[in-house]
Amino acid sequence: MEPATISPRADGPGEGGGSADSGGGIASLSPVSRFLVAAAVSVAVVASAVHLGAVFLHVAPANTVSKQYDAAVDDYVYPEFEQNWKLFAPNPLQQNVAVHARAQVLLGDGRRTTTGWVDLTAEDFRAVRHNPAPSHINQNELRRAWDFYVNSHDEENRPNGTRGELSSQYVKNIVCGRLGPRLNGGEVVRIQVRSAATPVASPKWSSEKVSTQTAYRVLPWWTVEPEDFGTAASAAGEDAR
């Protein structure tokens, strides 16, 4: 009896073998598509390099390059990408700071009423808590805007540098966007902002005594215009007139 022989298997396209030229990926795209992909990647790389370079020059110690391009770097970084080191030693932030706002509302009969204080920071916390992918706006926008304002004003809320007006307008626009142009059946005509700073209590094992009483910093009233609420609100205001 002859031993059994095994014939080599010839895998065809329909039998799981696959052909060498059936691969996917960029190579399978048309020349135009490959060009568009390459252009998009190039733009993303250049934009990332510019952003990282500007932020690095902003936080790095003063040097020849940062001094030469100081104005351009500041124009790019402020106010959205401004950085600080408050998380780190030797002076980490040791208080919880919340930003509140209220509005003066003009009613249809000509009377003016004032709303209660709204805790905008608490609203951000609620949006972030238990959210696996929280918005950068909820995490940082209001907090960084308030830091920007504090760093460019003295204790009497007077600007101490050229960025004072910019920081005020930035906070104003954020608060207007949060409150909206109409509240309690009337038109928002003025807003006021304050901060509530509460020191963090000392741990139980520490002998340090820290007062946890909340301190408030109240800003003056700001008159608002339709454009402070954004393009849509401005259009609505024009239509109302």
Tens-place pLDDT, residues 4-61: 555 555 555 545 444 445 456 777 778 888 888 888 999 999 988 888 888 777 777 7
Maximum Cα–Cα distance across the chain: 112
Highest mean pLDDT: which of 2-6, 62-66, 101-105, 133-137? 101-105
DSSP string, 163-211: THHHHHHHHHHHHHHHH-SEETTEEEEEEEEEEEEEEPPPPTT------
Please say if the pLDDT value at position 97 is more than 70: yes
Are residues 193 and 203 in contact, defined by beta-carbon separation less than 8 angstroms? Answer: no
What does the domain layout of the chain look like in residue ranges?
29-77, 95-201+212-240
Please say if the pLDDT value at position 199 is more than 80: yes
Q: What is the pLDDT of residue 54?
A: 80
Indicate the pLDDT class of residue 62, thresholds 50, 70 and 90.
Answer: confident
Residue 106, judged by CB atoms within 10 A of its CB (0-12, 13-18, 19+), counts as middle
Which residues fall within 8 angstroms of residue 146, CB to CB, at 6 or more apart? 97, 99, 171, 195
3-state secondary structure of 80: coil
Q: What is the pLDDT of residue 20?
A: 47
Q: What is the CA radius of gyration of the chain?
A: 29
Residue 193, judged by CB atoms within 10 A of its CB (0-12, 13-18, 19+), counts as buried
pTM over 0.85: no
Indicate the pLDDT class of residue 187, thresholds 50, 70 and 90.
Answer: very high
Neighbours of 80 (CB within 10 A): 13
**For 15-62, what is the HEC assignment?**
HCCCCCCCCCCHHHCCHHHHHHHHHHHHHHHHHHHHHHHHHHHHHCCC
Averaged pLDDT for residues 85-107: 78
Least confident of 36-40, 66-70, 232-236: 232-236
